Amino acid sequence: MDLASAYVVLSITYFLLLLLVAAAAGLLGRKRWADEQPITRFCMLIPAHNEELVISHTLSSVSAIRYPPDRLKVYVIADNCTDSTAEISSKFDSVKVLVRNAVDQKSKGYALNWAIDQLKNDIDIDTFVIIDADTSINPEFLTAMDRSRRAHESGHFVAQGKYGVANPNESWRTALMAGALSLVHVVRPLARELLHLSVGLKGNGMCIDRPVLDLLPWRGDSLTEDIYYTLDLLEKHDLLVHFVPSAVVEALMPTTAAGAASQRKRWEGGRSSILSRRAGGILWQGIIQLKPSYIDAAIDLLAPPLAQLAAALFCLISLIALASTVGVSVRIQEYLAGYSILAFGAYVLGGFLVGGAPPLAYKALLYAPFFALWKAAIRLQSKGHADGEWIRTAREQSIVSAVADDNSNDNSGNPPILTKSAESKN
């Protein structure tokens, strides 16, 4: 690794550290909302493709939401399903099912775009909320979104809730994922909200006003349609995505390498596609137009995942050690590497603290090198991955008995608690 590469690694690391400091400031300065009567009329969309094992859990969670029932509509989009997803969903009194069959357009994005088109003329809908079919939603989610919406410009409100892991203590893999998401889904959004930048949509727990979707229809031709939509909002309409940390959703994460492989292939394939298509253009526009939100969005795309950044630091240290053994002076690189390691460690550990990572996430860091190697292998396999289609993998077998037992034994009316994990599509 040359001196220029060392500077790049150091710059990215310090950029992340800056976001951590801003996030901590944002956490301390969080607003306390007045207790007012909710006014927003929400329409919740739940795209589902063959989700018979988990859809009942999700809809039970939705049924427990504390919000005026006359201001909430819930739709399950049974998209190209060959199982009983639609039948199970229809058993919930407050839920309507939209059945879609389009074999030539199979994706979450296409399903959402189709459903929104069906509902766009419903004058009783102010805002759409989108959650995944394997998600637990906090009872106060809609109340928090309503308060934030009233604090911003009504009619063009776009927001992302706090998206976490429902089963963080089940394995080192889910614990490490919970820690990673606390950095990406909490720390960075907190910082960007404070700095008046776009926090970015994450695919789950999203809130979008209907007029915004009229201006910019949801797209279906990408594995990462949420990122594309965030960038389109910025470039075409100068609209920012806000962060509402008290609006919480939690998704089940896979516990095994086999269960996580296709999920990771989708993420890596989608990221690679959007990086090559959009990063350079939005960075250039941000520079020539002096728009910090554009530059930040580009940096967010260009910055490598933490595993890659850690690998780059390891390579830098290894090269410095090798150079020292043969008598080559690398004093500047030594300083750069030392400061980078300190900054990286401060970002991860400080980010876990600010982001509310579970205690097991700290222990799971011991497995991070193995996880990084696994991710590298998945990244190589994901090259050339087809863009846009549903990525459907088998649920881990333990989910079958877990859901069945919880649904049959729980008579409290509260959402069943899943003790075993399932594959998340996003």
Q: Is the dihedral of CA 219, 222, 224, 227 positive or negative?
A: negative
* CB of 260 closer than 8 Å to CB of 424: no
CATH number for the domain that contains residue 135: 3.90.550.10
Encode the chain (426 residues) as per-residue pLDDT tens digits: 455 666 666 677 778 888 888 888 877 766 666 667 899 999 999 999 999 999 999 999 999 999 999 999 999 999 999 999 999 999 999 999 999 998 888 888 899 999 999 998 899 999 999 999 999 999 999 999 999 999 886 689 999 999 999 999 988 889 999 999 999 999 999 999 999 999 999 999 999 999 999 999 998 777 688 999 999 999 999 999 999 999 999 998 877 665 565 555 665 556 667 777 888 899 999 999 999 999 999 988 888 778 777 777 777 777 777 766 766 656 666 666 677 788 888 899 999 999 999 999 999 999 888 877 777 776 666 555 545 565 554 455 444 444 444 444 443 344 443 333 333 333
| pLDDT number for residue 270 | 60
Encoded amino acid at 209, one letter: D
Model pTM above 0.75: yes
Nearest to 130 by CA among 46, 252, 66: 46
End-to-end CA distance of the chain: 34
Scan for tokens 């892991």, then name that residue: 165
Edge-first strand listing for the sheet containing 206-209? 95-100, 72-79, 42-48, 127-130, 206-209, 158-165, 242-251, 135-137
| pLDDT number for residue 131 | 97
Scan for tokens 């050339």, then name that residue: 384
- SS3 at position 140: coil
CA atoms within 13 A on the CB side of 294: 19
| pLDDT number for residue 225 | 87
Could you list the residue range(s) of the whole structural domain that residue 147 is in? Answer: 39-276+390-406
Nearest to 80 by CA among 53, 48, 112, 57: 48
CA atoms within 13 A on the CB side of 229: 28
Domain membership flag for residue 185: yes
All residues at 6 or more sequence positions from 305 whose CB lies less than 8 Å from its CB, including other chains: 375
Distance CA 95, CA 90 (A): 6
Domain membership flag for residue 347: no
Domain membership flag for residue 127: yes
CA atoms within 13 A on the CB side of 70: 3
Kindly state the DSSP code that residue 30 receives in the 8-state scheme. Answer: -
| pLDDT number for residue 390 | 57
Distance CA 186, CA 188 (A): 6
| pLDDT number for residue 314 | 77
* CB of 72 closer than 8 Å to CB of 42: yes
Q: Tell me: the pLDDT tens digits for 320-329? A: 777 667 666 5
Q: How many domains does the chain have?
A: 1
Nearest to 205 by CA among 223, 233, 222, 186: 186
Distance CA 211, CA 362 (A): 43
Domain membership flag for residue 344: no
